[in-house]
Structure 1
């Protein structure tokens, strides 16, 4: 393993990073800013600004063959960014600091996990809020999906839960 390239963020930390599905760019969250970086040149392509507090998590997803980025923040929102225009197209109000985001590729849903332990399910096409799971294991720190399945793993401060997220219901396993 060897170092390939260093990207100068001009800020002391990168809280979260994510590759776009094509592998041509990646995004980083530093403070209230999100930057996308060109892998070949090392230059910043776009800077997204819109959160009022620190951005804690981000992930790419596609909708109708367009590339988007979802970012979660301490400001109690998740924002949907159009990667082509660099504009925020929707703000999802979560009412607790957002600690984890996940885009499920098979179910067309977005999932946000919050400091208060709640997990919100959103439609990734309309961005409509579909339901909330209130789990009792503390702050949500991570969310992962099993490709080809309706299962998601939710990492909390006090444990891990496995949930089955169907089109109409959410059933804990």
Structure 2
């Protein structure tokens, strides 16, 4: 596996908005949603580089924000432990509630079911049904450090993975008739420091998970054998974000070393 030496960009959004903690892209509109450390939400139109809306959400940092497009909503959360939902057309606040007892690090929106996951420094992941007034369906409690991220499996939509500073990736199922799940399906271990980010492959016959860690490495895991099949090195600081391309055999990594790397290889050759 190798990384590309140069990649161009089509547009660059320049705005003095402060530290950006999370972005999301609308699938139908030409919009980018940004959650800021200042506690603001901003929606940009990348076709004309204009700011559509600037929402003062909290006096605490926002760490995550996502579109829920079929409801025309934005859901966001951060260091005040409050989950907030806004209509992105009227910017009316739809819902606001607290459930976690520490910072909320990540929000994952299910592609087809009315589910969202939230992961938190309280070491839990919570599952909500947004079609039923954000009823909490389950709490997942097995990690022993901050839960940095969670991702639904695109090939098995009742399964999700979580990444934690306890150095592990855990795989869970959402079809449980209990309010608290303490036993994941299985756990992937191998990183020597905390795991910050994960993603699933969504193409090809074999399923893979990638994980990025404070140990400065990226690991590629065979989902079925539960084995690490390759370790990618090259970053010199903590890995902060990873994305598998949905159709092309590439993955993208970003790091606190201020570099973005494009790794290119056929998964079948790993």
The two structures have a TM-score, normalised by structure 2, of 0.59
- Contact 2:125–2:141, Cα closer than 8 Å, also in 1: yes
Q: CA RMSD in A?
A: 1.8
Distance in structure 2 (CA, Å) of the matches to 1:55 and 1:61:
17
Gaps of 5+ in 2: 1-6, 186-270
Corresponding position: 1:152 with 2:160: yes
- Contact 2:41–2:57, Cα closer than 8 Å, also in 1: no
**Greater percentage in strand:** 1
Bigger relative contact order (CA 8 A; separation at least 6)? 1
The match for 1:81 is 86
C-alpha offsets along residues 87-113 of structure 1, whole Å, 9 cap, x if unaligned?
A: 221113122210011111233111111
C-alpha displacement of 1:20? 1.2
C-alpha offsets along residues 58-117 of structure 1, whole Å, 9 cap, x if unaligned?
A: 11113xx33211111100112112111112211131222100111112331111111111
Higher Cα radius of gyration: 2
Q: How many matched pairs?
A: 171
3-state DSSP of counterpart to 1:27: strand
Match of 1:140 among 147, 155, 161: 147
Distance in structure 1 (CA, Å) of the matches to 2:57 and 2:18:
20
- Contact 2:13–2:46, Cα closer than 8 Å, also in 1: no
Corresponding position: 1:70 with 2:78: no
Gaps of 5+ in 1: none
Corresponding position: 1:18 with 2:46: no
The match for 2:254 is none
